């Protein structure tokens, strides 16, 4: 195996490990630790999917920072969400839901190197299956695609951008109180 292939393999392993560690933080309800993985300029965006004609797929998803979305925000609002979860009286999450993030199909699609030739920023695609079980029998399953931009800051990966494409038109869950 040559150096380039080995480097790519190691990078893939590193990125995968980061994404799975991140999922663990969410599922262990360590929301403040999860928030610390987000860059200060993070864009966190979850558009709505519309049913459109085959030649109008450009209009399938509502536009970031233009249209109504499920979620379209930055660090300030993410921080408010984490604070709300910590109040203990955010009734949609009190008692807390049981959530599992299954993250698969991880693929690095682009690598931006730093001056030394090491990966400084990567574009990553993945799939998510987020299972939420709440109170005695409430179940929601959110499935979709993610496109992330991960940035290396002080030797550690951070999430600089996350696009979340939920495979639903009408949201079948009564609310969205988890992170993706």
Partner 1 sequence: MTITPDMYERLVNIKTGEISREIFVNEEIYKQELEQVFARAWLLVGHESLIPNPDDFFVSQMGNDSVILTRDRQNNIHVLLNSCMHRGMKVCRYDQGNTRAFSCPYHGWSYSTDGRLVEAPGQLVGVPGFEEHYRCELDKKAWGLVRCPKVVNHKGSIWACWDENAPSFYDYLGDMRLYLDAALDHRDGTEGGSEVIGGVQKWRVKCNWKFAAENFIGDHYHNISHRSVDLVGIGPSGGRGRRDKDTAGPYQNVIIGFPALGHGANGHLPRFEEAPYFPTWQKYPEVQEYFREVYEARKKRLGDQFRVQTGTGTIFPNMSFHGQQPRTLAIFHPVGPTEMEMWRFYLVDKDAPQAVKDAIRHYALRYSGPGGLTESDDMENWLYASEASRGTIARRHPYNYQMGNGYAKPVEGLKGAVQGGDTTEENARILYNRWAQFMAGKSWSELMPAQTA
Residues 137-156: x/- map of binding to partner 1 (CB under 8 A)? -x------------------
Spatial strand order of the sheet with 98-113 comes to 71-73, 38-46, 156-166, 138-153, 119-134, 98-113
Q: How far is the CB of 12 from partner 1 (least distance, A)?
A: 32
Q: Which of 92, 102, 143, 156 binds partner 1 (CB under 8 A)?
A: 92
User: Within positions 58 to 77, which residues make up the interface with partner 1, using CB under 8 A?
Assistant: 62-63, 65-73, 77
Q: Across the chain, which distance is largest between two alpha carbons, in Å?
A: 55
Residue 20, both tokens: 């799975």
φ, ψ for residue 38, nearest 5 deg: -95, 135
Total of chain residues touching partner 1, rule CB under 8 A:
40
User: Within positions 98 to 137, which residues make up the interface with partner 1, using CB under 8 A?
Assistant: 135
- In the complex with partner 1, which residue's Cβ is closer, 10 or 172? 172
Binding window for partner 1 (CB under 8 A); candidates: 3-11, 31-39, 46-54, 101-109: 46-54
Q: Which of 4, 91, 116, 117 binds partner 1 (CB under 8 A)?
A: 91
Classify 72 as helix, strand or coil: strand
Q: How far is the CB of 89 from partner 1 (least distance, A)?
A: 5
Q: How far is the CB of 138 from partner 1 (least distance, A)?
A: 8
CA distances from 170 to 50, 62, 66, 91, 127 (A): 9, 13, 20, 23, 20
Q: Which of 2, 4, 56, 104 binds partner 1 (CB under 8 A)?
A: 56
Residues 126, 112: Cα–Cα separation, whole Å: 18
- In the complex with partner 1, which residue's Cβ is closer, 105 or 169? 169
Residues sharing a CB contact under 8 Å with residue 110, sequence separation 6 or more, in sequence order: 122, 123
Residues 143, 166: Cα–Cα separation, whole Å: 6
- Residues at the site binding partner 1, with contacts judged by CB under 8 A: 46-48, 50-53, 56, 62-63, 65-73, 77, 80-81, 83-84, 87, 89-92, 135, 138, 169-177
């Amino acid at each position: 195996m040559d150096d380039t292939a080995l480097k790519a393999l190691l990078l893939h392993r590193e990125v995968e490990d980061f994404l799975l560690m991140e999922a663990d933080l969410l599922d262990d309800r360590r929301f403040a630790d999860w928030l610390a993985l987000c860059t200060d300029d993070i864009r966190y965006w979850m558009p709505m999917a519309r049913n459109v004609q085959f030649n109008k797929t450009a209009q399938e998803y509502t536009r970031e920072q233009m249209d109504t979305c499920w979620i379209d925000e930055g660090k300030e609002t993410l921080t408010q969400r984490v604070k709300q979860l910590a109040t203990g009286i955010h009734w949609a999450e009190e008692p807390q839901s049981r959530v599992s993030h299954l993250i698969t199909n991880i693929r690095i699609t682009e690598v931006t190197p730093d001056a030394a030739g090491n990966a400084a920023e990567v574009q990553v695609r993945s799939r998510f299956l987020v299972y939420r079980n709440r109170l005695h029998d409430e179940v929601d399953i959110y499935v979709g695609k993610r496109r992330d931009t991960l940035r290396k800051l002080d030797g550690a990966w951070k999430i600089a951008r996350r696009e979340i494409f939920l495979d639903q038109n009408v949201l079948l869950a009564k609310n969205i109180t988890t992170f993706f």
